[in-house]
Structure 1
Amino acid sequence: MTLQQNQLPSLKESINKYNLHAKKSLGQHFLLDPMINQQIIALAGDLTNKNVVEVGPGPGGLTRALLDSPAQKVIGIEVDQRALQLLHELQPFYPERFQVVEHDALKLDLTTLCDSPRQIIANLPYNIGTSLLLGWLKQGQQWTRLTLMFQQEVAERICAAPNTEYYGRLSVIAQWVAECMIMKRIPPGAFAPPPKVYSAVINVLPKAEQPSPELFKAMEQVTAAAFGQRRKMLKGALKNIGGETLLSAANIDSTRRAETLTIAEFDQLARLHLAINA
């Protein structure tokens, strides 16, 4: 049975009904402010005819904003049983446009849930956000855009430039395959319960040219070695993967440190590493 949307209980009523309070063990901090949720949707661009996947919708504040958008379909991925009850209650109000999937997002290929064009828009659980992003970056142009909320420090790491405090492995891999931009910072008080730090929303737009799976793996290996001992000079940090040979072939000074290398230089090292080990 399709219910009229004006019969939809308020977000506060639904939270109280299911006693849905954020769990620290699940990395949950609920964003309930409808104005901020609407602003996040606006940052995701025109959603007309897009299929949108939301990871960790929790009580559904962002979900409701998505369902008010022109998105063709909204799919929520959730593991918290309390939230699932609330989200299933929301389904009859949007029977053709809203789907709930009970699954661990880390163990699920989200591209199998809907056709292109598809986007991910999510306030990610703090404890798995980075792992989720790395998985999605490997899928390249399977996604038209990712609009994601992280702890601000994580967002800074994703978007950092060389020779800055937060530049590291995550910066290199993310910016190698996508354009990454911090779009909005959100204070702790906007969440329930308030986290100890600011959060930030970023846009990740996959580049037209994407690396092969083999090249992506080579980049993972090079950046893991380079930043695993980031205070070491590259000749020492890359020693176990043939660093001297790689650096000489790339004409990169072996006394430099990882944080000084550009994305293009890491790309060069990854391609050489792949060629040498092919």
Structure 2
Amino acid sequence: MHNTQMMHKPKKSLGQNFILSSHTAKKLIDLAGDLNGFNVIEIGPGYGSLTKEILKRNPKFLLAIEKDTNLIKQHDQLLGLYKGKYKIIEADALHIKETEFIEPPIKIIASLPYNISVALFLKWLDNIANFTNLTLIFQKEVAKRIVAQPHSKDYGYLSIISQLLCKVEIKFDLLPEEFFPKPKVNSSVITVNPLPLQRFEIDINALKKLVQVVFVKRRKMLKTSLKNILNSKYDIFKSAQLTGNERPEDVTIEQLCVLAVLFKN
């Protein structure tokens, strides 16, 4: 039994749901691999169940980022125990530059606050070269979008950018009972391993522009969504082995990279 009476009440506005079981925490951290010699970042450490397990694995240094002042006080004991190895800062993870506090190579291990999880993940993808790997808990619906393949309603911007840059896998699901307070949704643990080079050669900003344009109306055919910028001099669809009648969710990342040339400056 966990004594939740003694605990600081989580704030709904911050999307706080904390892992309670040390068994789950261990299982999650196992996925991050050896932490020895690595700098590690944890987002929203809450009551410290993940924090304790990370510190037991002897990282070079652990930086925890917490927005809730009241929760920081819960870490006094750990800070004393791991002096010089552990620091917790009060900040909004969305608005800090991680490398100002901690040097790469960095591993991120976090149960992400639901309300900022996608924005945070996209921010890290923009700076993916700083990270060795990321082991993250997302709402199950978001996790499905990250690993989605073509021909699926979950396939879109998040799947395409994630998979261009990284190998992403759902490792296991977590029930609401694993958290305090119990969320109304299931969660999934995802491992994110950055690729040494992006999967296909393309200017990533051009790809982002293309994906935003075509997925905004995902039921429309490509040739309709792109009609204003198609160059009649050459058949871009042919080079991507497409007809133009396809809907964006039926097009592979590789084919989208070919089409993205349209958006290169």
TM norm structure 1: 0.87
SS at match of 1:127: helix
In 2 relative to 1, CA 208–81 (structure 1 residues): closer, same or farther, beyond 3 Å?
same
**Letter of the 2:247 counterpart:** R
Any stretches of 5+ residues in structure 1 without a counterpart? 1-10
In 2 relative to 1, CA 255–28 (structure 1 residues): closer, same or farther, beyond 3 Å?
same
4+ residue segments displaced more than 3 Å: 239-251
2:257 is matched with which residue?
Answer: 267
TM norm structure 2: 0.91
Q: Residue 246 of structure 2 is aligned with which of 253, 256, 278?
A: 256
Distance between the aligned counterparts of 2:39 and 2:137, measured in 1?
19
Any stretches of 5+ residues in structure 2 without a counterpart? none
Distance between the aligned counterparts of 1:20 and 1:48, measured in 2?
31
2:168 is matched with which residue?
Answer: 180
Deviation at 1:81, TM superposition (A): 1.1
Q: Which residues of 2 match residues 29-44 of structure 1 at below 5 A?
A: 29-44=17-32
In 2 relative to 1, CA 71–240 (structure 1 residues): closer, same or farther, beyond 3 Å?
farther
Q: How many residues align?
A: 261
Q: Root-mean-square deviation (CA), in Å?
A: 2.2
Does the 8 Å CA contact 2:38/2:106 hold for their aligned counterparts? yes
Deviation at 1:241, TM superposition (A): 4.6
Q: Residue 215 of structure 1 is aligned with which of 195, 199, 203?
A: 203
Identity rate of aligned residues, in percent? 38
Distance between the aligned counterparts of 1:231 and 1:68, measured in 2?
50
Does the 8 Å CA contact 1:179/1:205 hold for their aligned counterparts? yes
Q: Are residues 1:95 and 2:95 paired? A: no
Distance between the aligned counterparts of 2:152 and 2:246, measured in 1?
15
SS at match of 1:130: helix
Deviation at 1:117, TM superposition (A): 2.0
2:65 is matched with which residue?
Answer: 77
In 2 relative to 1, CA 135–46 (structure 1 residues): closer, same or farther, beyond 3 Å?
same
Q: Which residues of 2 match residues 206-245 of structure 1 at below 5 A?
A: 206-210=194-198, 215-242=203-230
**Letter of the 2:146 counterpart:** I
Distance between the aligned counterparts of 1:259 and 1:234, measured in 2?
10
Distance between the aligned counterparts of 1:82 and 1:238, measured in 2?
51
Q: Which residues of 2 match residues 1-278 of structure 1 at below 5 A?
A: 12=3, 16=6, 19-210=7-198, 215-242=203-230, 246-247=236-237, 250-274=240-264, 278=265
